[in-house]
Chain A
């Protein structure tokens, strides 16, 4: 009917820009970034990375309305770099952290074998602790409709 496609919440339209920069006219070295089709996953991560940087005076983000798929990020710097540069640096620092972690995960996965032998049934509700004989769901095999 007239419901919008659900992927419009996370895929940019043709020609739509992902980032808009609005420079602050009253506060020095401050800018507001409107980041479209992104949410807390990116916003929160960037905000805390920015706050960890020494040249940042202020960094904060919000998702103004849960049905509108964008967030705004406000940044003020001490003037040594522009807010745009700060945001770019934050993004690059996070990318570096991710590639670090990827390498670490790769090494760990290479070194770890999957536990549990194939073909042996695993209890889908998890093994019971040794001091428990029945599961929390009960041990009865009665069909649910047999209860009255």
Chain B
């Protein structure tokens, strides 16, 4: 029996975690580790600016240029699960306090010196919003600074430069930040980079190294190579060997902590699997019934996943996107 899966964190910083996964060969290892990589990059929800209303822009940059730059700013997204709805789950007409965070920016340059307009000039607006969806307690569940640009009021974090303005120019705008995932737009990704490596000595020959004269000299080893024994000069190729150690670094943009990204990633994987198993179970029931009556029952007639039938109902389909749908949450 293969050993139990283990995890070893080699480095943990404010914005990154580096770890080694061992003995995950149960699932063929590589593909499970790769699914974890995919899920932390593309399936973990955050908030990001999604709509910009520009009241005045006399800067040198056009409106859409500034709107695009605003979208890229990482916003604090902790407690995204309970703190905010997906826009499609809210029945307001455009945006409200339950499905959005409003940010405002208003800068005029009256000095002779150029002003750097940065993410630090964005303020979360907490005043009244007229249009609102069904009552909820989302806003009260938000953590401190929810929706605020990452690193605002922290002198150790350099702000994101949006634009420079000179004397007589101004920029005044309102932003609506919404919840989303990176499958919709990369600005919602909590990760700036995910590093993934196995077999640093290429003993498994899953890749071939092109070289001019000397393979060893032209392909320097990665720092993960110290974790594994180098192959001997005369070692025969072991064609049955499988990768068993995976080196990963998850680097975040700051909207979520590395720890939260990992756990949310696992939750998303659980949701995917739980929904699949749930779907299989209801399909089997229907098949059995169909045979009993001698009819072929169209699969679409099951009650599975029907959920609320109203458009934009707060339940959202079959709860597919809601984490821990079948009680798998941590």
Chain B residues positioned under 8 Å from A115 (CB to CB): 11-13
B26 nearest in chain A by CB position? A97
Chain A residues positioned under 8 Å from B11 (CB to CB): 115
Is there contact, CB below 8 Å, between A109 and B273? no
Q: How far is the CB of A122 from chain B (nearest CB, A)?
A: 7
Any B CB within 8 A of the CB of A55: no
Chain A residues positioned under 8 Å from B279 (CB to CB): 17-19, 35
Is there contact, CB below 8 Å, between B328 and A94? no
Assembled-state Cα–Cα distance A80/B273 (Å): 23
Chain A 114-130: CB-based contact to B (< 8 A → 1; otherwise 0): 11101111101000000
Assembled-state Cα–Cα distance A29/B284 (Å): 15
Assembled-state Cα–Cα distance A83/B313 (Å): 35
The size class of the interface chain A forms with chain B is 35 or more
Any A CB within 8 A of the CB of B134: no
Any B CB within 8 A of the CB of A2: no
Q: How far is the CB of B192 from chain A (nearest CB, A)?
A: 11
Assembled-state Cα–Cα distance A114/B309 (Å): 46
Is there contact, CB below 8 Å, between A41 and B38? yes
Is there contact, CB below 8 Å, between A49 and B27? yes
With contacts A21-B287, A52-B26, A108-B19 taken as known, whether A114 is within 8 angstroms of B14 at the C-beta atoms is yes
Chain A residues positioned under 8 Å from B313 (CB to CB): 14
Assembled-state Cα–Cα distance A121/B306 (Å): 52
Is there contact, CB below 8 Å, between A18 and B318? yes
B38 nearest in chain A by CB position? A41
Assembled-state Cα–Cα distance A6/B185 (Å): 9
Q: How far is the CB of B5 from chain A (nearest CB, A)?
A: 6
Chain B 269-296: CB-based contact to A (< 8 A → 1; otherwise 0): 1101111111111011001000000000
Is there contact, CB below 8 Å, between A40 and B7? no
Is there contact, CB below 8 Å, between B6 and A104? yes
With contacts A18-B275, A37-B320 taken as known, whether A94 is within 8 angstroms of B6 at the C-beta atoms is no
Chain A residues positioned under 8 Å from B158 (CB to CB): 124
Chain A residues positioned under 8 Å from B28 (CB to CB): 48-49, 51-52
Assembled-state Cα–Cα distance A105/B9 (Å): 8
Complex interface residues of chain A between 102 and 148 (CB less than 8 A to chain B): 102, 104-105, 108-109, 112-116, 118-122, 124
Chain B residues positioned under 8 Å from A19 (CB to CB): 276, 279-280, 283
Is there contact, CB below 8 Å, between A97 and B32? yes
Is there contact, CB below 8 Å, between B272 and A97? no
Chain B residues positioned under 8 Å from A26 (CB to CB): none
Assembled-state Cα–Cα distance A94/B275 (Å): 13
Is there contact, CB below 8 Å, between B276 and A17? no
With contacts A41-B39, A104-B5 taken as known, whether A11 is within 8 angstroms of B320 at the C-beta atoms is yes
Complex interface residues of chain A between 17 and 73 (CB less than 8 A to chain B): 17-21, 35, 37-38, 40-42, 44-49, 51-52
Contact of A11 among B272, B274, B317 (CB under 8 A): B317
Is there contact, CB below 8 Å, between B32 and A94? yes
Chain B 96-116: CB-based contact to A (< 8 A → 1; otherwise 0): 000000000000000000000
Is there contact, CB below 8 Å, between A12 and B263? no
Chain A 91-105: CB-based contact to B (< 8 A → 1; otherwise 0): 111110111111011
Q: Beyond A6-B183, A48-B30, A105-B263, list 17 extra A-B contacts (CB 8 Å).
A: A7-B184, A11-B317, A11-B321, A14-B308, A18-B320, A38-B276, A41-B272, A42-B276, A49-B26, A49-B27, A97-B26, A99-B270, A101-B7, A101-B266, A102-B330, A120-B156, A122-B14
| Interface of B toward A, CB cutoff 8 Å | 4-9, 11-14, 19, 21, 24-28, 30-32, 34-35, 38-39, 42-43, 86, 88, 155-156, 158, 181, 183-185, 259, 262-263, 266, 269-270, 272-281, 283-284, 287, 299-300, 302, 304-309, 311, 313, 316-318, 320-321, 328, 330
The 4 closest A-B pairs by CB, nearest first: A48-B28, A19-B279, A104-B7, A48-B31
